[in-house]
Chain A
């Protein structure tokens, strides 16, 4: 590769006139969100996750459990689809944490931390960029559902509102993974923890079966599980019967998670040294 180095010295210095003031906080957030989307495009195996997981869950569960739980796959799908949508999106919330963990291990964190830009933008923007990933997954679940016979009575408005609410909750949850990503030793550790935490959280909810069929000791947990709150709100929004309370509880839960984890994450970010 040495042959490609120009023998003639090229001036590498920036024209001082072109030197600018550092980007604003909002500008920096946008750059990091764009960077996150670029990575999604360059690593198709991660995009494959975003496509396959929702696809498998929706098709498999509809035909596997449909007959047993609701009499027919088509009928079960009306109940199930909001559940698979939520599960598919929530499983992806770990990517922000994985991405930050990778930045730590590659030393990229050092480079960003020594720039005169608003430091939290790295986290805020990276997580915001993942909204693109969630949107892809949502579109797949909804399209697939419509093909298989899902008919939301809430119409386009209901579906759009439902996806919007799921995105808000997912963004909030991704802050938990950002904090974990900044303390974990390796991306593998983050992935492992994700399986250990996400499966109980999503399965011990009302996403796939009616909690009334569960044992008494499990029901209080399932009803208090924020994922259940979200799934209920999704069902109501898609059906066009959502109350203010259904949606408000999810927004409150999201706000609480961000209020607890954003300051923690920023603190960890400033302290983390590769």
Chain B
């Protein structure tokens, strides 16, 4: 069956999976367009991993349907598996084989000859900085090394769709950046990446679109910027000398609690930060302060962070 190139990478309708009394995925309607990175965010237990396992044909849905690159995950599971790679939440490696052997087994199962499988394994080991450890048993690897080998195993063949379930959990910052580079390179070459993560800065860095999941349902979707705007507009932060704080607050007509000491201890104690919603032009605010004879120590336009989006959205959705 040929893939329909106009179909989204992933499309689900009413997707549901129940474990006992728990509805892990509860009527999920998700559309992941082709190309780019789609970040699935949500608190623990929101159903992210179950969703990924359903899409990767590892679980059968109880209700609803899911289509991956034009193939139904139940009726056409074999076609789905030909297109995707999966890096699960926990490293899924043969710990009593060497790093190289792990990759060679994958490559051989994907149809490579012995020689080509070894060549591919060596390429990946070098790319992930594991060449020196290649001949050692995986049970001697650190957590970060295991994680890198696990991702390498998903890239033995270049998949059209890659599921990364919390790929950088437990990685040090440098390894994390390396994984991000790998993801960007894959996307440049046309792979669609579905990423679940609990690091919001990771989603912010990588994702073109974000879906926020809570209680097995999609509660919000959009680009990182759209989501940030949805919880509140940009904020103008003005820094003035502490002695001017009261006067500045009054002349701008702000409530007294708009003034607070700077968050960072690096600023000397003599300044105060005023936060005001960006509902009037910045210039006007600066003119008002100027007319009052107040000298600015600095100002900043700040957008709400994804953390604020995440808390705002998932708090509402969690039943009391």
Pair B111/A13 contact, Cβ less than 8 Å: no
Complex CA–CA separation, A31 to B111 (angstroms): 10
* Chain A residues whose C-beta falls within 8 Å of the C-beta of B181 in the assembled complex: 9
Determine the interface band of chain B, counting residues with CB < 8 A from chain A. Answer: 35 or more
Given contacts A5-B175, A12-B128, A12-B152, whether A114 and B94 have CB atoms under 8 Å apart is: no
Contact size class for A? 35 or more
- CB within 8 A of B109: which of A10, A16, A22, A103? A22
A2–B185 contact, CB under 8 A? no
Q: Knowing A2-B175, A108-B94 touch, does A116 contact B120 (C-beta < 8 A)?
A: no
Interface string of A105-121 (1 = CB under 8 A from B): 01111111111110000
B81–A116 contact, CB under 8 A? yes
CB distance from B165 to the nearest CB of A (A): 10
Among the stretches A38-46, A161-169, A182-190, the one at the interface with B is: A38-46
B246: CB under 8 A from chain A? no
- Nearest B-chain residue to A24, judged by Cβ: B111
CA distance A112 to B178 in the complex (A): 25
**Cα–Cα distance between A116 and B156 once the two chains are bound (Å):** 13
Enumerate chain B residues within 8 angstroms of A43, measured Cβ to Cβ. Answer: 96
Residue of B nearest to A121 (CB): B109
Interchain CB contact (< 8 A) of B105 among A1, A31, A42 = A31
A21 on the interface (CB 8 Å rule)? yes
Cross-chain contact B88 with A111 (CB below 8 angstroms) = yes
Cβ–Cβ contact A12 & B185, under 8 A: yes
Question: How many angstroms from the CA of A21 to the CA of B94 in the assembled complex?
Answer: 24
How far, in angstroms, from A87 to B142 measured CA to CA in the complex?
Answer: 40
When distances are taken between beta carbons in the complex, the residues of chain B under 8 Å from A42 are 96-98, 137
Q: How far is the CA of A16 from the CA of B190 in the complex (A)?
A: 12
Q: With A1-B145, A5-B129, A20-B111 in contact, do A116 and B92 touch (Cβ < 8 Å)?
A: no
For B172, list chain A residues within 8 Å (CB): 2
Decide if A213 is an interface residue (CB 8 Å cutoff).
no
Question: Pick the contact of A110 from B88, B128, B129, B158 — CB < 8 Å?
Answer: B88
Give 16 A-B contacts (CB < 8 Å), ordered by A residue: A1-B145, A6-B126, A6-B127, A19-B157, A20-B112, A21-B111, A22-B82, A35-B105, A39-B94, A103-B94, A109-B92, A114-B56, A114-B57, A114-B58, A114-B81, A116-B78
